[in-house]
Amino acid sequence: MSFDYDLFVIGGGSGGVRAARIAAAEGGARVGLAEESRMGGTCVIRGCVPKKLMVNASGFGKTLEDAAAFGWQVKAEAFDWPMFRTKLEAELDRLEAAYRNTLKNAGVIIHDTRAVVLDPHTVRLATGESLTAKHILIATGGWPHVPEGPGSDLAVTSNEMFHLDALPKRVLVVGGGYIASEFACILRGFGVDVTMYYRGAQILRGFDDEARTHVAAAMQANGITIRLHTEAARMERTPDAIRVTATDGHVQDFDLVLCATGRRPNTAGLGLEALGVHLGKLGEIIVDEWSQTSVPSIYAVGDVTNRVNLTPVAIREGHAFADTVFRAVPSKADHAMVASAVFTQPELGAVGMTEEEGKARGGVEIYATTFRPMKTLFAGRPDRVLMKLVVDEATRQVLGCHIVGPEADEMIQLAAIAVKMGATKEDFDRTVAVHPTMAEELVTMRKPVRRHGAV
């Protein structure tokens, strides 16, 4: 059978673009790609990249204050949000153009429209055109989920946070995951009065308990109000605000409500279920270790599969798919020991096993230290850094590393190499420290602070 394409990709985010480029440029495939929004997907357009730029911008207030403590004669003026937003949008335009050029240079045909799947080898574009392909790859990512409730339509999601006309004075952030926590810190850094409602016992569920408690305490010390075991029961518009009634009966007015209560796989209306593509309870596409669905000609990568929802993982999955199917190089994405960073203030970097997981497993030692870093100590700030290792008591292998502090993202990237390689605590110990640094504490912790015996 003759097809219009060897591969048709639905979704122009990091995973889809990587798969398309490798299949076309290195695999010699005829590739088409459909994207209904902006090229670059969540990470480039409404996620990691603009968020990190906002994190950087929001941190300069404290940096300028600290500079004065070091002898610089500086004065922080009010933050100019419109100017920053204009530059941010220009940068996103530049990045989107770079993604487009990458695809075009690889020979990929771009369709700027929505596409759905008609049968195992056919997609239909919103323009009405139908195209056939030997293989179809779904890479449509995720989408913010807003729980239904009275007045829930008054809330915005992370998608809108990069394009606000003006900074609000009072913000409620509903949620306690990394997106909620990051935006709470960003807004507070811009001088906004921030309150968080989270239904759980502590924010940043899934991360090491000691590390997330450390982050929460620092956020509160920076002026963020965190109300745990609390949800927004009702929201209503008043002449001057959004009035929010909490589940405990507390009533408070805000200028903006950000709902950051998680993201769901973006599979609605793609036509997958009718074809027999198996979906999970959240709508995620069920795939095997080769990213193949229950329909052999259809594959899926990235957040739409709800495996490890991180941009670099989506890129690895897309590349492995293209290598396997179009380059005759069977490859599987490795989802073990994937490092991650939460861009709160302070940052949280993590790779591998948490202390709670180690305790449940048994036979681990915990090495941990907290200290005041030189830079902010000199400036008179009470900030504290946390360094933590989870070590197998028998083999001495470092099973997990957790860092809370400035530049934790940069440190955890390098620590992850050692952890991924299976380094032992003694490997860390015989590594000579770089002094004076924060990271030297990772190689100078000699005695465990806790042991969790075999269960």
Residues known to be catalytic = 435
The answer to whether 3 and 121 are in contact (CB under 8 A) is: yes
CB-based burial of residue 249 (10 Å sphere; 0-12 exposed, 13-18 middle, 19+ buried)? Answer: exposed
DSSP 182-224: HHHHHHHHTT-EEEEEESSSSSSTTS-HHHHHHHHHHHHHTT-
DSSP 240-302: SSEEEEETTS-EEEESEEEE---EEES-TTSSHHHHT--B-TTSPBP--TTSB-SSTTEEE-G
- What distance, in Å, lies between the first and last C-alpha atoms of the chain? 58
Query: 389 CB contacts (<8 Å, ≥6 apart)?
Result: 366, 367, 368, 398, 400, 401, 402, 425, 428, 442, 445
The answer to whether 60 and 84 are in contact (CB under 8 A) is: no
Reported residue count of the chain is 455
Query: 131 CB contacts (<8 Å, ≥6 apart)?
Result: 4, 5, 8, 32, 122, 123, 124, 125
Residue 314 CA to residue 157 CA, distance in Å, equals 22
Q: Tokens standing for 260?
A: 């950051």
Instruction: Return the SS3 of 305.
Output: helix
